[in-house]
């Protein structure tokens, strides 16, 4: 069965969006139908400009905004957020905090869930950010599909990646240079694996 996969993310400088697109490419390889959605931005235009993120936000404006009600329509959902002090961003938290009605009705029970992240320092919170996002899935009764070491690149990369989910390392103070070869491989593999597992469960 071809599964509808929601890829719900927050991205400030575009790195998480890049990772989301590579995961979406993998979902297609797994015969799934990826639906990219961005959570609403909470920072003002002035704050984004001061942070040097205005140009990236303009590019992201072409991605449809995520809505709470749409979550129930997906067969599986992959959530992505950059790390903020080892945690998901407030933008992602605000979005997830609005899913109370879905929790009350059990709308997400049995759907698959996955996670991805990024940080500007190698040990800035790849694992902890994914773990803090994963508690959302437990409360909703979703089935977490981990990355594991299903792609050889996950054990070879020196940038991003690990058993919890795809990740991207974007060194602070350096120009954005895109995803590494290993990060792309991991994101593609994970998207494909997630789509295949979700398709089997949704059949």
| Pick from 82-86, 106-110, 150-154: least confident | 150-154
Determine contact, residues 83/118, Cβ cutoff 8 Å: yes
> How many domains does the chain divide into?
1
> SS3 for 160?
coil
Above 70 in pLDDT, residue 75? Answer: yes
Determine contact, residues 57/48, Cβ cutoff 8 Å: yes
State the average pLDDT over residues 83-92.
Answer: 91
State the average pLDDT over residues 144-155.
Answer: 78
Above 90 in pLDDT, residue 66? Answer: yes
φ, ψ dihedrals at 15, nearest 5°: -65, -45
Above 80 in pLDDT, residue 141? Answer: yes
pLDDT in tens, 95-132: 999 999 999 999 999 999 999 998 877 777 789 999 99
Q: Which residue has the higher pLDDT, 7 or 171?
A: 7
φ, ψ dihedrals at 179, nearest 5°: -80, 150
pLDDT for 172? 61
Q: Residue 202: in which H helix or E strand, if any?
A: helix 181-202
> SS3 for 51?
coil
Determine contact, residues 4/73, Cβ cutoff 8 Å: yes
The fraction of the chain above a pLDDT of 70, given in percent, is 93
Residue ranges making up the domain that contains 84: 4-202
pLDDT in tens, 31-53: 999 999 999 988 778 887 877 77
Q: Which residue do the tokens 């959605």 mark? A: 37
Above 70 in pLDDT, residue 203? Answer: yes
| Pick from 45-49, 78-82, 199-203: least confident | 45-49
143-144 vs 33-38, strand pairing mode: unpaired
Neighbours of 29 (CB within 10 A): 14
CATH number, domain of 158, equals 3.40.50.360
Q: Which residue has the higher pLDDT, 131 or 171?
A: 131
Above 60 in pLDDT, residue 192? Answer: yes
Neighbours of 53 (CB within 10 A): 19
Above 80 in pLDDT, residue 176? Answer: no
């Amino acid at each position: 069965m071809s599964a509808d996969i929601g890829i719900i993310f927050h991205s400030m400088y575009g790195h998480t969006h890049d990772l989301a697109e590579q995961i979406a490419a993998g979902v297609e390889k797994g015969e799934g139908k990826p639906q990219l959605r961005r959570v609403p931005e909470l920072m003002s235009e002035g704050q984004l400009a001061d942070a040097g993120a205005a140009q990236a936000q303009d590019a992201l404006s072409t991605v449809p905004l995520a809505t709470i009600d749409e979550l129930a329509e997906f067969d599986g959902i992959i959530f992505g957020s950059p790390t903020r002090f080892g945690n998901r961003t407030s933008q992602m938290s605000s979005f997830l905090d609005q899913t109370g009605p879905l929790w009350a009705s059990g709308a997400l029970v049995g759907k698959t869930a996955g996670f991805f992240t990024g940080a500007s320092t190698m040990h800035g919170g790849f694992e902890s950010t994914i773990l803090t996002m994963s508690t959302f899935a437990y409360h909703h009764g979703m089935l977490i599909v981990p990355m594991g070491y299903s792609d050889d690149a996950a054990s070879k990369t020196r940038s991003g990646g690990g058993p919890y989910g795809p990740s991207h390392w974007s060194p602070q103070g350096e120009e954005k240079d895109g995803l590494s070869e290993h990060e792309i491989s991991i994101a593609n593999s994970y998207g494909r694996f997630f789509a295949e597992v979700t398709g089997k469960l949704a059949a």
